[in-house]
Copies of this chain bind each other. A is one copy, B any other.
Amino acid sequence: MNTLETIDQRRAVKHYDPAHRMTEAEITSLLEHAILSPTSYNIQNWRFVVAQDPEIRKQLREAAWDQAQVTDASIAIILCANLNSHLNPERYWKNAPEEVGKMMAPMTTGFYEGNEQLQRDEAMRSCGIAAQTIMLAAKDMGYDSCPMIGFDPEKFARIINLPNDHVIAMMITVGKSAQPARGRGGQLPLSEVVVSEKF
C-alpha cells in the first residue's frame, strides 16, 4: 500500500479477531522494519517486548483497565527503552569507517551522561518514532494496531521483569480487525497546530 494512503488509513483499532494468529515470519518482518527507525546518535535504545503467551497477556490486561485488545489482538508489543544505551556506543558504528566510530562514541556518551531527563526524553522520542513505524508497517501487512498508555506501568514492569535501568514508553497491540475504528473524533485544523516561522 502507498505510504500516504497507509498514513491516512491507520486508525486505533480496539476490536480484534481473537482467533487470528500472526505467523512468526510476519512478526519477525514487523520487528525487522521497526529497527530501521532512526535514533539519535544511532543509540537504538528501544527494546521490544513481544507478548503472545495467553497467561502473560491476561496479567497485562488486568493491569490495563481490562481493555480487551490486550488479549484479543494477535500480539502486544511493549515498547521499552534502555536508559543506559549511551554507554559503550562503539557497537553502533561497527559497519562504519573506524574514524566515524571513534568520533561518535565519546560524543554520544558525553551528550547523555548525567542528564537523566534527556535520557528519559530520548526513551520516549525513540519509542514514539518506532511506534509509528510498527503501526504503519502493520497496516501495510494487512493488520491493524492500537497504541496504548492506559495501563499501570509499575504492574507492567513487574510482569515483564523490567530491568531497573529501563523504562516503559507505551504498548501497541497488533492483529486482525474485527470491527472498524470509529470516525476521527475531532481533528484540530492545521491553522491551530502549524506555526509559520515563529509563535
Contacts and interface: CB of A to CB of B under 8 A. Distances in A.
Interface of A: 1-4, 6-8, 10, 12, 28-29, 31-33, 35-38, 40, 42, 44, 46-53, 56, 91-96, 100-101, 104, 117, 120-122, 124-133, 135-137, 139-141, 147, 149, 159-163, 166, 169-170, 182-188, 190, 193-199
A3 B137 contact: yes
Given A3-B1, A137-B4, A125 B170 contact: yes
A38 B147 contact: yes
B92 A44 contact: no
Given A7-B133, A132-B37, A197 B162 contact: no
Copies in the complex: 2
Contact of A7 (B33, B104, B183, B198): B33
Instruction: Choose among A7, A187, A199 the residue with the greatest number of B CB atoms under 10 Å from its CB.
Output: A7
A194 B31 contact: yes
Nearest to A51: B197
B197 A46 contact: no
A38 B124 contact: no
A114 B162 CA distance: 26
Which of A162, A182, A197 has the largest count of B CB atoms less than 10 A from its CB? Answer: A197
User: What are the 5 closest A-B residue pairs judged by CB atoms, nearest first?
Assistant: A128-B128, A124-B124, A3-B140, A94-B186, A132-B132
29 contacts: A3-B139, A3-B140, A7-B37, A7-B133, A10-B36, A35-B187, A37-B132, A38-B147, A40-B147, A42-B185, A44-B188, A47-B194, A49-B199, A91-B186, A92-B186, A93-B185, A95-B183, A95-B184, A100-B182, A101-B185, A117-B120, A124-B124, A125-B169, A128-B128, A128-B132, A129-B129, A159-B198, A161-B198, A163-B199
